[in-house]
Structures are given as structure tokens and as C-alpha cells.
Structure 1
């Protein structure tokens, strides 16, 4: 980790590297490369352009495209004015785009050329957007964003900017209704970068691969890590195999990805496995890593450091991590299913969901965190903020888990995913872990479905490789679980529905069973 003083403002490190190593490589994207001085100049020019548009303290701008350095530039430029960048999921439909852009209050929108038609389709409904600027992947002729930078006057940080200003608004996936905008401040993102950096660092010659979507906190926060340490960033437009392979061939050797990507690499054959062996660090998170897949990966890449992270957008990303040595600790294999230990400057309470009282070590409860990484609040939603954050600063996650005497955190389930069958609480993740150990199971989700006798019954939905019958999978569970936890039915599908970040959409699996009933399907 860098020995430099901890930054106060988001652009402190970018401007530092522009002064001290101006000609060193800062970022590579497709066929373009910028030095630190060039990248800082682009940010300063964008700050000037936003100033000319009238953007100032407390305003919002927005970005809609696949991964592009312009998104990071917009975050820095907005922060330099005390404004916020609302980063929009490029997979949203028209009505969803309409809602997010209007809710954010964005005055300026930077949009990728291939997504411009979607914006044109809702342009008359965007009540706050005053300027729409089109950006292309390659900076080709007619790129409005590049023309905007070329004609702008470089401008420094405004005098009224404070570290506690909101600089990013990250929208939730909307599985519980309309998406909520999570407001993250400059202080939040800097604290996350510093705290999440504990226990590992870059070496000379390293390059950091940023492939997680920037609309996800795993992309938006992770990109700051390489900038913090002054190492080059290799950004891919998407997280497909070709792009990832190209980044590794370009020298990228540290990365953060979802487990689903790792599974595809292992299935791609020996050449892909060998290529990914060039990675020094493979950090994974955003969804659980099935234990068989993790064991396969540890065996395939014996020289790679694996680091698991658990976190939430509301805490700027990472709040706990399972470090490389714990991944290969043969004396404590049970820790492979843990979320590791808390990062620095984080506090945890495991509480009774009904009373809010702390429960004893080892007992399950709702996870509450307190940290300087905690969001300012939900944008335009004070009641939702009050529901999620206590008066003394504890964030109620809605996740169920426990902590062992050594401080290892085990995230067991979501409160809303808990199945109550005949008065017994069944945590879906416990059943999922057992089914994931079956050699034929490649994906699994466990949900509760209506049952006239028990209220809810446990149902498993699995994808398999080869053959495995419902009876076989049910018997597998009965050998390893209490009978009330075992699935009463098992559905076998080709693949499970996932959102853009790879998270299984249990809402879609529940929907046909609960439609028209009182139980929520979130």
C-alpha cells in the first residue's frame, strides 16, 4: 500500500500521479492509452465543460454506457464540483431509464452511441436533463464527448467542495420495487479504498484489470484501487472471455470478478486455464462462490492468490474479506464458506431481527455494520434511509449470518429468503451448499413455495451437468440435512436466471408459485 498521506478528496491521487509520474501509463482501454498527465488533463477539461453547463455543488450528472474511461472521468469531474455522477445500468429498459434519470435529477447525460436510441425514445420524459453528449468506444470521428473535452478549458476543484459531498449515486437492482439511489460521498469511497486495501498491495510492474461493470459498486469502487496506488488500469468494455484474455495478454495481473466468470474460464479448456494462471490475484465477490468451483479453481491455479470479498453498495463495496492464506489453510477448510474477517474501521453486530438485541457469538442473526464507508443515504428517500440506518449509525443489512470466536463471518441468507416451514426456519443457503456439493449440480437456488399443510415448502431449482434425478438429489440432501430442511421438490432447468452482475434472481423463480398470493416475491 502507498506510503503517501491519505487523500481527502477523490481527485487527490489522480492529480498526485499526474505531477510526480506524468508520462507513466495510467489507463489502457481498447486501442487507446493515456498517461497520468493526459488522464488528469481530460478530467480537468471535463470539469471545465460541466462548469460551462452550469453544473455546481449539489447537482447531479449521469453516465449510460458499457465500461468506458469517460465514466471514471465523469465521477472525478463531478466530484471536483461537489456534484454526483449517477451511473446507470446499461441493461435497463426505457421506463426504468426514465425513472432513474429523473430520480437522480441529472442535468447532463453522457451516453454511449449504441445506447443513444434508448435515450431518444424517452427524451421527452427526462425532466431534468439539459444536455446529452454521445460517446463512442474508440473516440472515432463525430464523438461528441471527445469534441467537448477538446474545446473545454481545464478547471480545478471548486472552492466550496467538501469531502462529505456525494460524488456517486449507485442504483439498486430494483428487486424490491423502484430502484433506490445509494449516495456515496468522497469520504466513503476513499475510506473504502484504504480499508479494503488492507493486507495486500501492488508490486512494481503490476497492472490492474477493471472488468466489473462500472454501474456496479464492484466496478466503481474497485477502479479507485489502482488509481490510489498509481498502477496502470487495463479496462475492458465487457467481461467476456475475449476481452479478459486481451487484458491479461496486455499485462493485467490483478482483478476482481464474479464467480460465474471463473466457472466459464474453467470450462473453456486448458489454454484458457493456462492464460488465467498469469493472474497474481483473483478477487471475487458480488455472489457466492460454490464450494466445488472454488476447490477446482484453487487446484487449477496454485500460484494465484484468491481473495473473497463480501459487501454491499451501502457500505461502498467491501466490508469483510477472506484472505489468500485462509483459502489454502488445510487446518481450517470450513473457512472457505465464510466471508472472512472485517476490514479495518468496521464494526459488526449480529442482532435478533425482531428485537435488535445483539445475539451471542456463533448464533445467527441480522448483520449490522458501522463504518466510515456507510452511505450518506438513499437519494430522495429519507424514510427508506431511516429504516436502514439507526440513529447511532448502524446499517441494517437484511443479511442473516453469524460470527465465530476467531472473527470469521458466515453470511447464511437474506432475511427475505428465509423459509418458514411448519414453524421451522430454513435458511436457503444451507440447503444450497449441500446441493452444490453434488457432482452433477452446476447451479442451485433454494426457495420457499406455498404449501397448504406447512405454509411454505422447500423447493430447489438446479442446473446439472450429465444426469441427476429429483429423487437422487432429494436423497442426497436427506443424508446430510435435517429432514425439515430437505427440498420437497426439485426442479431441473438448463440455467438459472441472473441479473447483469451474475446474482441469481430468486424473484423470478418464486413468481409463478406466489402470483396472486399475499407473500411478497422479492
Structure 2
């Protein structure tokens, strides 16, 4: 017997087994009215109503429905309300600039866009969609239908979501993930992270980011309580942990640093010996791992993956064989990207690039067959990361793709270069990632200019065209940039001085 693996399985199980259990505690501090506490039966009813509304709007199965929102119960419900009845959900990074939002809406062909009330100013950028709603204000147009949604014949190979990621080109690419890939990622992740119905999951990770790494499905499937946090702040994270008895959270290293900074003035519960913290984006320093384990008293778990892989590929978690080692040595071992999760195969090619095979790898890039063919060449997914694979563990040593990871967000160097190059005074520009204690890596622009222009001028110019986290933290002026005899920029030489003394070229 073969039963299709689809995302409806997670919410169907939760409302069957745990109908009266609190599914999600919505963010209380937001412009839209908070949904407060929502049970799994109520969450299912919200999703069903949303699907019926899309029917009434004439949005066919297979159509794209986008949402640009901070973390919210409305966003969580929409992952199910859209995909569970055969449409494709497009969760969009709320930090993007209007021009970037406009491109994604047009490129995905989204027929419906739902906007966070704080982002209503983006409505003009979404004009390509047939319907644009503002969450909260238009709730009675999104979740008011009492009808039964049109039936969808479950198909595990149907696209469930499209997540746009900054890559090696100036335009973001839409990563198509099937129901099967998302299902396998969620169940694999839940098993490796030992999620149970006793867990309380805090959404410190943006839900738009690879569907919250798939953990929002994992938590739903086991009936865990989920707590929404809208604005990431170290003290606020500790407050939620104490108030709700949080046991699991996932985040980028920058969030860990913010939480550690907040400890100085915190006198309440930190979740010591209770919280499991799952980290990805970039390997934090060994000292940070030690502080998380000693000062916060959390279990530290590191994963490695990409939007294109759903994302889970490897996990580094304490094991029995390490129990008698010194704390610093334990932290060093945990700093590795991790061992392949079940069902994942890893290989290092002749150029040192990490290649993987997994049921969680993307189906394709939306409307981009050339990029798809390149990424999946030879039947392996090419991660763009360089590293080693020894003793069953992957360690990331370099980033071959022209991508900077800052605060857990991917920044395309080429995209930033294009924005700066549009300034009339800029003759040449190279954008690189440099080590940053807070953000892991920060964006540095090296420019050659003609005329009188300041660093502030160039940063302001970039800010008009890019999301804030993509704007260079620093701009340095150069007389010339290192190039090969054929005129190609030698970014590895430009990076050398900033990474000197480090054993790897990522931070």
C-alpha cells in the first residue's frame, strides 16, 4: 500500500489526537488583533475556512498564494490553509525591499497576497496579484467561509511551497519543495530532535525561512504547543521561556548572542536543563557554544542545510561517547556541521564542494531550468559550500557560492554589487563577507569611485534598493581591485586579509 505523504497529515493528526490542546499562543503585541490561544481543532477550522475562501475567490488548485508577515498565528494557519487543499504557499521574507517583494510576487505568479498590517505600504508592490489582503483588517474576507473546501486528491509530488532565497545571482530564486520533501524533512527533523507532545516550541526562527526549517510541521504532528514571538529580543525570549515553559527553539547564532547578552540583567528562569536549542546559519565559536551550555544551561544542537534541502542535512548533538570529555572539547565537536541525518548521503567532490542526495532536496527552481540543471548536475545537489567529511561528520570550511550569511540570512554578493554599481560615482565594486562577532559575517563593500562620494552616500543609495540586512555594514574605498589577467575579480585575495589566522573561511 502506498499512501501519499502530504502536509495535511500533520494537522489532521493534531486535530484528531489533540483537538482541545493549545496549538499556538499568538503574539500579544501586534497591530492586528491577537488570536490569543488557538486549539488544534480551531487551527484546523481556520485552515479549512481559508481554503474555502480561496475556492470562492476562484483561486484554482496549483495556484500560488503569498504572505508577507512577521511570525504570527495567521501565518502558521496559512501554511495549512493553502497547501493542504492543493495550492502552493509562498511565504515571503518581510525584511525585503519593495522592489524585491514586487519581483517575487510577479515571478511566482501569486494570485493572492496577504500582508502583515505593518507592511500595508507594500500593497503597491503586490499589484500583479488579483487579490491583496491586509491581515487583521481583512480577516473576515480570509477566514469567514463556513463552506467545505473543494476536495484535493493528495499528491506527494505536487509542489507545496516556494521559498525565495538569495543565491549567486542578482535575482532571488524560487525553491520548489514538494509535499513529499517537506513531509520527510519534518518527520526526520522531529525524530532527530526528539520532539514529543510534552514539548513547547518557541518560534524564534522566522516562519518564512524555509517554513521555519519545517519544525512548524514537526511540532504540529506531535501536538506540541507552539508560542509565537514577533520581534526577536534576548530579554523577551527569556520572558517567553519562563512564562510558557519553553523546551525547544531554533535560531541563528546572532539570536544566541542576544540572549546571552540579556542574561546580565535576567533573574528569572532560563529553562536550564530543559531547553534544547537548535542552531544553524553559521557555526558559532566554540566559546559561544560553551556559554550556551554553561550559562543558559541549554542543550546545544547544530544542524546544517539549505533552503534547497528543506533544510535538514546534518545534525551535531551530544552523544554518549563524549560524556567524559572536557567541556571545551565537547563544544569543539558540537561546532561541526554534524553527521548526516537518516536518508541523507554526503560526498566531497574533487574541488572540495559538499554534494548531497536526500529526499528533502528541491524539485526545481521555479521557472529556472538552467539553475536547476546546474544545482542537480550528476544526480547530486551541489551545496556551494566547501568542507571535509571525516569520521561520519561534516565540517564547513569555505563557501564556494558568492553568498554571505549574516545573522542567519543569505545575502547575494552580486545583488549588493549591482545596487552599488548603479550609483554614478562607482566605477568598480566587490562585495565580500568578513567575520563579525555579532552577526557571524557582515557585508563589506570595496569600491573604486570617480568623483566625490562618501560611505554614507553609498549606504543610503543601497538602502533604497535593498533590504536592510543586505546593506553593507562598511564601505572601504580602494584605488583598484585585484583581478586576474583576464579581468576577473579575485575575491579570495580580497578576503584574505580579513580572514587571516582562521582555519576556515566562514564564520
1:146 is displaced (CA, Å) by 4.1
Matched, 1:346 2:332: no
1:403/1:410 contact within 8 Å kept: yes
RMSD: 3.4
Partner of 1:92: 96
Count of residue correspondences: 423
Partner of 2:399: 414
Match of 2:371 among 376, 379, 384: 384
Taking a change above 3 Å as real, the CA distance of residues 228 and 130 of structure 1, as seen in their structure-2 partners, is same
| Aligned counterparts of 1:192 and 1:266: Cα–Cα separation in 2 | 30
Partner of 1:293: 288
1:105 is displaced (CA, Å) by 0.5
Partner of 1:318: 312
> Which structure carries more relative contact order (alpha carbon 8 Å, separation 6+)?
2
Match of 1:16 among 10, 13, 17: 13
1:66/1:237 contact within 8 Å kept: yes
1:369 is displaced (CA, Å) by 0.5
| Aligned counterparts of 1:131 and 1:104: Cα–Cα separation in 2 | 14
Deviations 1:12-55 (A, max 9, x none): 12122212321111111124011111110000001101111222
Taking a change above 3 Å as real, the CA distance of residues 195 and 172 of structure 1, as seen in their structure-2 partners, is same
2:235/2:259 contact within 8 Å kept: no
SS at match of 1:338: coil
1:172/1:181 contact within 8 Å kept: yes
Taking a change above 3 Å as real, the CA distance of residues 11 and 243 of structure 1, as seen in their structure-2 partners, is farther
Taking a change above 3 Å as real, the CA distance of residues 463 and 148 of structure 1, as seen in their structure-2 partners, is closer
Partner of 2:75: 71
2:163/2:175 contact within 8 Å kept: yes
Deviations 1:392-446 (A, max 9, x none): 3x10011001111x2011111111469xxxxxxxxx99xxxxxxxxxxxxxxxxx
TM-score, normalising length from structure 1? 0.73
Taking a change above 3 Å as real, the CA distance of residues 228 and 203 of structure 1, as seen in their structure-2 partners, is closer
| Aligned counterparts of 2:142 and 2:180: Cα–Cα separation in 1 | 29
2:336/2:393 contact within 8 Å kept: yes
Runs of 5+ unmatched residues, structure 1: 137-142, 354-364, 419-427, 430-446, 448-455, 465-496
Match of 1:396 among 358, 371, 382: 382
SS at match of 1:268: helix
| Aligned counterparts of 1:329 and 1:503: Cα–Cα separation in 2 | 45
| Aligned counterparts of 1:52 and 1:520: Cα–Cα separation in 2 | 55
Partner of 2:503: none
1:336 is displaced (CA, Å) by 3.0
Taking a change above 3 Å as real, the CA distance of residues 210 and 64 of structure 1, as seen in their structure-2 partners, is same
1:239 is displaced (CA, Å) by 2.0
1:46/1:154 contact within 8 Å kept: no
1:211/1:219 contact within 8 Å kept: no
Partner of 1:519: 489
User: Which aligned pairs between 1:449-468 and structure 2 lie closer than 5 A?
Assistant: none
